[in-house]
Structure 1
Amino acid sequence: MSETITVSGVVATPPELRRSSAGVPITSFRLAAGQRRYDRATNTWVDNGTNWYRVSAFRALAQNGIASLRKGDRVLVSGKLKVRDWDNGVKSGTDVDIEADAMGHDLRWGTSRFARPEAPASPRSNVEDAWAPEDDAAGGEVTDAAPEAAGPSADPGRDAWAVPGDPILADGEPASSPEEPTQADVPF
């Protein structure tokens, strides 16, 4: 069985990085996805079981995952679900695995800051690998300043990338704002 799912849960084991015989990086960890429900009789939230998954990520996702995720982090994982029955003669069971296509911190529970990894040394020509701030089409310098450094009016929810020619300036204000409608322009 192979279905695409998205699971919200907690990284339950320290992520491990291994390499395949071909040298492909593989990061894996256990993910605990707890279920809760509201019990009207006691007016409290009660645990309703935990589903356990083995998450595996490959290549760049594996490298970024090992650098970003720690045991106890709340994460979202999206990927292919694989359910396998096993029997070793003494015990039998079922493994539930997710081959991750995407994963990251669950921002419902905290904050995270994105950082683009340095470009690999290989001469690949993928768009992802070729991008660098100095290659920006505007030709200007790209700065990564903290929102506080951009000024008191900066929007804290917006990353403070300041690119010349960007329609949103570093101070958080649009380059040109449309006129506000007057009372006469608004129909009742």
Structure 2
Amino acid sequence: MSSIPVTVIGNVVDSPVRRRAGNGEVTKFRLASTERRVDAATGQWVDGDTFYVDVDAWNTLGGNVSAGVVKGDPVVVIGRISTSEYEVDGAKRSRTVIKASLVGHDLSRGSATFKRTPRNPEVAAPGPADPSNPLDDGATLDDGAPLDDRAAAEAGDLVDAPF
């Protein structure tokens, strides 16, 4: 089975489902991507064909997908597309699937709030939240520093960097 790198932009067709599989956990969902083009005769946008594909997101990525993506969300999926073959009642079948390496919301169609997942829960365990700061949920960086750097910026400890 060979696989090809691919990026697909579309909408989540069904609610992501997380389950234990093999050596880990996988979150599965179906993605629909519809071609949009300008009709030369009318100058209007028209929908073309819709491409449907199954997406598998494994382990940590899958956990984040199941926690943050719902049916109908516009997303960008990057991964490797392949065909998986299997048998049902003696009949050979196949399915096209993307093994995702990245899944993100399409921010050209809405906004999102990002919540960092700690890499090492022992080091980055949430501390007490600052009730006067609506953005402070108590989360910290891996080194224990708070995610909210406004206090450091006000103290002059941060240097502006171009992005």
TM-score, length of structure 1 as denominator length:
0.63
Query: Does the residue aligned with 2:102 lie in a helix, a strand or coil?
Result: strand
Taking a change above 3 Å as real, the CA distance of residues 129 and 176 of structure 1, as seen in their structure-2 partners, is closer
Q: Please tell me whether the aligned partners of residues 73 and 105 of structure 1 are also in contact (alpha carbons under 8 angstroms).
A: yes
Q: Unpaired runs of 5+ in structure 2?
A: 136-146
Taking a change above 3 Å as real, the CA distance of residues 134 and 13 of structure 1, as seen in their structure-2 partners, is closer
Alignment match, 1:132: 124
Residue-by-residue CA offset, 1:72-125 (whole Å, 9 max, x unaligned)? 0001111111134677689876522100111111111111111134x5xxxxxx
Larger-Rg structure: 1
Which letter maps to 1:49?
A: D
Query: Within 2, Cα distance between the matches of 1:87 and 1:21?
Result: 18
Which stretches of structure 1, 4 residues or longer, exceed 6 Å deviation after superposition? 89-93, 141-144, 173-177
Query: Within 1, Cα distance between the matches of 2:157 and 2:22?
Result: 52
Q: Please tell me whether the aligned partners of residues 13 and 30 of structure 1 are also in contact (alpha carbons under 8 angstroms).
A: yes
Fraction of identical pairs, as percent: 30
Query: Does the residue aligned with 2:120 lie in a helix, a strand or coil?
Result: helix
Which letter maps to 2:34?
A: G
Residue number among 130, 138, 149 corresponding to 1:162 in the alignment = 149
Q: Unpaired runs of 5+ in structure 1?
A: 120-127, 136-140, 148-159, 178-188
Higher relative contact order (CA 8 A, sep 6+): 2
Alignment match, 2:48: 48
Q: Please tell me whether the aligned partners of residues 76 and 105 of structure 1 are also in contact (alpha carbons under 8 angstroms).
A: yes
Root-mean-square deviation (Å)? 3.5
Q: Decide which structure has greater strand share.
A: 2
Taking a change above 3 Å as real, the CA distance of residues 163 and 97 of structure 1, as seen in their structure-2 partners, is same
